Structure 1
Amino acid sequence: MSEEIVPDTEHRGLIARLPQLPRDLAQLARFDRPIGWWLLFWPCVFGVWLAGAGPQFALLGWLLLGSIAMRGAGCIFNDIVDADLDKQVARTAVRPVASGRVSKKLAWGWLIALSLVGLLVLLQLRIEAQLIALASLALVAAYPFMKRITWWPQAWLGMVFTWGLLVGWSELRWDNWDALAAIYAGCIAWVIGFDTIYALQDREDDALVGIKSSALRMGGKVHAGIAAFYAAAIALWSLGIWLYRPDIFAVLTLLPVALHLVWQVATLDPADPDNPLERFRSNRWAGALMAAACFIVGNAGAG
């Protein structure tokens, strides 16, 4: 198997069959690692389904396309900015830009192409949702620099990756912002938790090259730290649902996702090279469980 395929790809056999340039472009946009766009897409679903307008499959289809395209564009921008740092980290040294297989000029062209897909999706939304979506661009542009200036780049990522909650909601309604603010804050705490798990893979290399992360900041208390952020996520989600629909049975819809997050922390083993990545990827199911809770709450007479 080609060593030019990044170690954490989820579709190694498919990617290996592609010619070199399409393979590199697919990896550059992380098409081989769909967990990223799942985690970007789920908050969009939270907002749409909590709004109480039914399944909204057409809208979710557009938002899914936008999540795939803009996650890809964001990853390309990150790789362009971080090329010199990526060369010094074992897991990222074989990325297309860091390794030199894709020039920065070509990477910028690929980023623009994916951004045009994102623009197409943006034009399907009403003006309020468009403005909220555009407001995220400053957060996206600043994210690659956060690991250089703060121990908590995961908090910034949380703001970026869960912005779709606000977009999905504002496409359908324009009220209950107190409830939505609590749920958004809970989503940020969720991202800090799962991205700390992801960062466990790179702690040694990050420490050597001077990259900051919550995994390094927590040190030996990483289990307790992740548990605290997951607990905060559930507490804030509960508050948001209560503000939206003050009914104990509505809050209890969060029980499955809460149990899933407890399982992640209880079975997390930083000493096992594969365990943190597997627990991180399991958040696609955490997102699905939270989405189900939002659908039940939003479409059972809420608001």
Structure 2
Amino acid sequence: MTTTAPLPDAAPANWVDRYAPAWSRPWLRLGRFDRPTGIWLLMLPGWQGIALAGAMAGRAPDWKLLVEFFVGAALMRAAGCAYNDIVDRDFDAKVARTAGRPIPAGQIKVWQAWAFVALCCLISLGVLLTMGPLAIGLGAGSLALVAAYPFMKRITWWPQAWLGLTFNWGALLGFAAATGVIEAPALLLYAGGIFWTLGYDTIYAIQDLEDDALAGVKSSARRLGAGAPRAVAMFYAVAVALALAAAWTADLSLFFTPGLALYATLLWLQARRVKIDQPRLALVLFKSNTWAGLILFVGLAAGAGRV
């Protein structure tokens, strides 16, 4: 199989293009392993749910669950990306940023991509079955959100909101895996994550404004236009308020507040810097959400302490 240049939204020195055997690169690109930001953004809500559950019990997050959620997030994100590429292969061929993906570029056939999706889902199912009944049910329920997501950009200007529902499902799943129940703090954390994703994926969509318009693809960035930076600031403000509400209803200690303050600061800086006519900056700001989500996780874990 021929070697191709790194995709536009992958780091030029990413590990796939530097170290992976040539035959494996299209498969790793299909699962977006050359762009690990998405793995983190899918995993971190689950880690946050686990940390919240632990903090409410006055203990550290369950490290075994953290490992399981890392593996599950990597595999399910890979499956979701491959599924998305199968559905969107005709659109992707028309967009400069996505035309080089393995399916539209002809490196992987559609039936092979389906096999890749099935394998990732089967391994993830094995991880899920180690958890309790409620967590298993929630994990199975997330498939409906994943299956519907690629079609949202065809029927609504707000596919980023649906991505928020999907990517942050792990907050409920992580809490349920740790406790066996769903309580109000977990629901508030999930709601906050939805607005967080709505903000950062609106920033991400700025990269494709012109191509999306030509291809007829809808997005919050297109709908908001010049008002996107102001809207991102509003989305992020709601995300921070809901994270605070989750911590308050969970009766976390004041040790949570430095993490929340830093999380809010990073989101504010993103909203302040984002520009509708600077797609490269949009990608940089989008990737910084890995740190924002990790900081919130640490803050929630620290909330287990007592002043």
TM-score, scaled relative to structure 1: 0.94
2:238 maps to what in 1?
A: 232
The one-letter code matched in structure 1 to 2:8 is: P
1:219 to 195, 215, 225: 225
Q: Tell me how far 1:246 sits from its aligned partner.
A: 7.0
Q: Is residue 301 of structure 2 the alignment partner of residue 295 of structure 1?
A: yes
Contact 1:241 1:251 in 2 (8 A): no
Letter in 2 for 1:8: D
Deviation at 1:3, TM superposition (A): 5.0
Please, which of 91, 94, 98 is the counterpart of residue 97 of structure 2?
Answer: 91
Residues in 2 aligned to 1:249 and 1:88: alpha-carbon distance in whole angstroms:
49
Offset, 1:265: 1.3
Specify the alignment match of 2:23 in structure 1. 21
Residue 105 (structure 1) shift: 0.8
Q: List alignment gaps of at least 5 residues for structure 1.
A: none
Percent of pairs with identical residues? 42
Q: In the aligned structure 2, how far is the partner of 1:71 from the partner of 1:191?
A: 15
Q: Amino acid of the residue matched to residue 21 of structure 1?
A: W
CA RMSD of aligned residues (A): 2.0
> Residue 183 of structure 1 is aligned with which of 186, 189, 199?
189
Deviation at residue 179 of structure 1 after TM alignment: 1.9
Matched, 1:32 2:34: yes
Amino acid at match of 1:27: R
Q: Which amino acid aligns with 2:291?
A: W
Measure, in 1, the Cα distance between the counterparts of 2:142 and 2:173. 10
CA distance in 2 between counterparts of 1:140 and 1:110 reads 16
Deviates more, 1:5-14 or 1:262-271: 5-14
* Structure 2: stretches of 5+ with no match in the other structure: none
Q: CA deviation at 1:16?
A: 3.1
**1: CA distance between counterparts of 2:133 and 2:295?**
30
Q: 3-state DSSP class of the match of 1:51?
A: helix
1:294/1:248 Cα in 2 relative to 1: closer, same or farther (>3 Å)?
closer
The answer to whether 1:146 aligns with 2:152 is: yes
- Cα distance, 1:273 vs structure 2: 3.6
Q: 1:11 to 1:47 in 2, by over 3 A?
A: farther
Q: CA deviation at 1:271?
A: 2.8
Match of 1:49 in 2: 51
Once the two structures are superposed, the pairs formed by residues 267-286 of structure 1 within 5 Å of their partners are 267-286=273-292
Q: Tell me whether 1:9 sits opposite 2:10 in the alignment.
A: yes
Q: Residue type of the partner of 1:157?
A: L
Amino acid at match of 2:142: S
Question: 1:176–1:244: 8 Å Cα contact kept in structure 2?
Answer: no
Q: Which amino acid aligns with 1:153?
A: P
Query: Secondary structure of 1:43's match?
Result: helix
Distance 1:154 1:112 in 2: 25
